[in-house]
Amino acid sequence: MSKIFFISDVHLGLGNKQEEEQKRENLFSFLDYVLLNGNELFILGDLFDVWFEYKQVIPKGHHRILTKLEDLTRKKIVVHYLLGNHDYWNEDYFEKELGVKVYHEPFEKTIDGKRLYFHHGDGLAQNDTGYLILKKILRNPFIISLYKKILHPDFGITLATSSSHKSRNYTSHKHYGEQDGMLLFAKEKFREGLDVVMMGHNHEPKLVEENGKLYVNLGDWISHFTYGELKNGKFEMKVWKGVME
């Protein structure tokens, strides 16, 4: 009996000390639950509020969560990590050191005979040309390489953190109602034959069923602590309450 879990937008490192401690403990207990009960875990972006990785340097402060992810893969639980707009600057640490499958772009996967499409959700607001241009610049391999060559990691990661905060302030003012892209994008994918479209990014949990198709927004782990669970072909949106269920 397979059981697959889905989360998005944890934003580790965002809150104050007390908020972060509570968030981490909730996340650790959830990952322990996945370790005991799961077959796969999908993380749909922004696990960290900022992740800027150099060839030989990673941000400090996340040792425990990285160890937890490695525990999962060592137990043969497949961990999929779709990078979001806050943790895109990834080298190969997750793949080589932790055994996590990393995706730089939206992807499709067939599960239990159903076609699922995974997208972080950024860039889907209508008339958001400014963000799309910025996204192309920030994800340009040449610019990323130049940034890392010029800036020492201490300064580079600090600057990346500042940019991450500005990105969140910008996107938090975007309206993501049906007419602003996310659900409309999902409906277009339904017309292409996809059965489930799953996203995060806007931190608003949502579950919409239409003609047997399913649009899911996984919410966040800042205020909602929502996650998805797929068991025997049935999907449920749940709230993690910090204890084994």
What does the domain layout of the chain look like in residue ranges?
3-239
Q: Which is more confident, 155 or 91?
A: 91
Mean residue pLDDT across the chain = 84
Task: Determine the pLDDT at residue 154.
Answer: 55
Question: For a pLDDT cut of 70, what percent of the chain falls above it?
Answer: 74
Amino acid 12: pLDDT: 92
162: confidence class by pLDDT, cuts 50, 70, 90 = low
In percent, the amount of the chain with pLDDT more than 90 equals 57
pTM: 0.84
Cβ atoms < 10 Å from Cβ of 190: 19
Q: Which residues of 31-56 are buried (b: 16+ CB within 10 A; e: fewer)?
A: bebbeeebebbbbbbbbbbbbbbbee
Q: Does position 47 have pLDDT exceeding 90, yes or no?
A: yes
**Parallel, antiparallel, or unpaired: how do β-strands 107-111 and 3-7 relate?**
unpaired
Q: Which of 34-38, 93-97, 108-112, 163-167 has the lowest mean pLDDT?
A: 163-167
Confidence of residue 133 (pLDDT cuts 50, 70, 90): low
Q: Is pLDDT above 90 for 9?
A: yes
Whether residue 163 has pLDDT greater than 60: no
Look-up of token digits 């449920």: 236
- pLDDT range class, residue 43, cuts 50, 70, 90: very high
User: Which CATH topology does 3-239 take?
Assistant: Purple Acid Phosphatase; chain A, domain 2 (3.60.21)
Reported as a single tens digit per residue, the pLDDT across 111-127 is 999 999 999 998 887 66
pLDDT at 87: 79
Q: Any bridge partners for residue 108, and if so which?
A: 117
pLDDT band for position 137 (50/70/90)? low
**The predicted structure's pLDDT at residue 180:** 63
Rounded CA separation 69/150 (Å): 31
Q: What is the DSSP string of 3-61?
A: EEEEE----BT-S-HHHHHHHHHHHHHHHHHHHHH-SEEEE-S-SBS--B--SS---SS
